[in-house]
Amino acid sequence: MALAPLGPQRYLAVVTPPLPLARRSVRKADVPEREWNDWRWQARNMLTTADELAAVITLSDAERAGLAASAHLFRVGVTPYYASLMDPVNPACPIRMQALPAAREGDVRAEELRDPLGEEGHQPTPCVIHKYPDRALFLVIDRCAIYCRHCNRRRLVGGDDPPTSAEIEAGLDYLARTKRIRDVLISGGDPLLLSTAKLDYLLSRLREIPHLEIIRIGTRVPVVNPMRVDDELCAMLRKHHPLYINTHFNHPRELTPEARAACVRLVDHGIPVGNQAVLLRGINSSVRCLRALMRELLKTRVKPYYLFQGDTVVGTDHLRTPVEAAIELYGKLRGWMTGMGVPHLVIDAPGGGGKLPIGPSYLEEIGEDTVTVRTYRGARVAYPQPRERDCTVAYDDVYFAGVPADDDREGSAEAWDDLAAAATDDDRGP
């Protein structure tokens, strides 16, 4: 176990992998309950090789081929807890398909991208990605509790190059001086793999920045290592409100009693939890599966937030669902189940265009007097247009008197402005 001090050393997650030893069984039935329920034990004993996985499930020839190729593709790693959710004999198991590589990951298409979201063009410091005007991503760790096969940030994660203390401080400095950032999303890697003390330190530093109104944490820990979400962690998190957590359940099979308990514990500590699912072909790309997932999330008091069309990350063509199929599936959610359970279906536009909502169109025709809409069952209905057209809010001049308009420049514009100014100064000479 290691905590990195401040200074030139690198920030480390709380868990450092042990030296290779003869490995004992990590099947749940063979592990003492005290160890099984220790999140640090789960993180130390991640399954990473075919031999380790074969001790838990019966690997198919295709899975073995994928694992053999994985050293040249993307890291493999799954906690014993998450591995225990795998169907031991059926390769179509959604847990297996998310965690185990397929040889097809080596078939990279021309349109697939190493950086599908165009983040590297919006990186004013190594730990900050600032694409949107009023919010930024703060990357504080490069390690995950699982290495998902559909990961859109696989170029950055794996535990090989954790951010240094200097890089973290530079990120905090950028967030502090960029006053139009109201909302910061702490991500990585998985921030909940940091020690509670380290995460508390980072949250405290962010809370010292007056213009940061909202702090969010993106994590898959409640799904794959729910033991981490203990009372100590939750008590620390609640000190830093308003704080939100977005997690990543993709299939109802993942909503085990342990995972539900982790989410409930967060909510009971006043922390709203949202879910960002990815639509994955052959894993959750059915109406029954999506409806069940959204309903079970709501029962756990987790709000379905986004349903992402798969990003164009290298080697994931076999996991992406055709857009027309995604829209058809989504059309079987809205209206057919409570609106609270219907997430936003979005494409994160390749190259950094941002999240764009897609879905069936319920608006058929707009006229001067009438708008024609289509119901979720396909019926056409007329909606009368209002006679008055002026939408001015007269009280805005009072309520917003003296308040500057939003700065809607592209994300990290300040950084490029500073660079341009510095270049101009250099050109002028002494």
Residues 6+ apart with CB under 8 A from 253: 85, 93, 94, 95
CA gap 425, 428 in Å, rounded: 5
Strands 214-218 and 243-247: parallel
Give pLDDT, residue 419.
56
> Going by DSSP bridges, is the β-strand pair 303-309/354-357 parallel, antiparallel, or unpaired?
unpaired
- Contact between 138 and 126 under an 8 Å Cβ cutoff? The reply is no
Looking at residue 415, its pLDDT comes to: 64
CATH code 3.20.20.70 for 119-359? yes
Q: Is residue 206 a contact partner of residue 172, using CB atoms and an 8 Å limit?
A: yes
CA–CA distance, 182 with 173 (Å, rounded to integer): 15
Per-position DSSP letters for 269-324, written without gaps between them: TT--EEEEEEE-TTTT-SHHHHHHHHHHHHHTT-EEEEEEEPP-BTT-GGGPPPHH
pLDDT at res. 118: 74
Q: What pLDDT is attached to residue 229?
A: 98
The domains of the chain are located at: 28-106, 119-359, 361-401
Q: Which residues of the chain have pLDDT under 70?
A: 1-23, 414-430
Q: What is the C-alpha separation between 196 and 389, in angstroms, rounded?
A: 54
CB proximity list for 36: less than 8 A, separation 6 or greater: 28, 42, 80, 81
Q: What is the pLDDT of residue 119?
A: 83
Distance (Å) of CA 346 to CA 104, 126, 353, 357: 25, 27, 12, 4
Per-residue pLDDT tens over the stretch 35-91: 999 999 999 999 999 999 999 999 999 999 999 988 788 899 999 999 999 999 999
pLDDT of 11: 42
d(CA 107, CA 59): 21
Nearest to 207 by CA among 168, 246, 175: 175
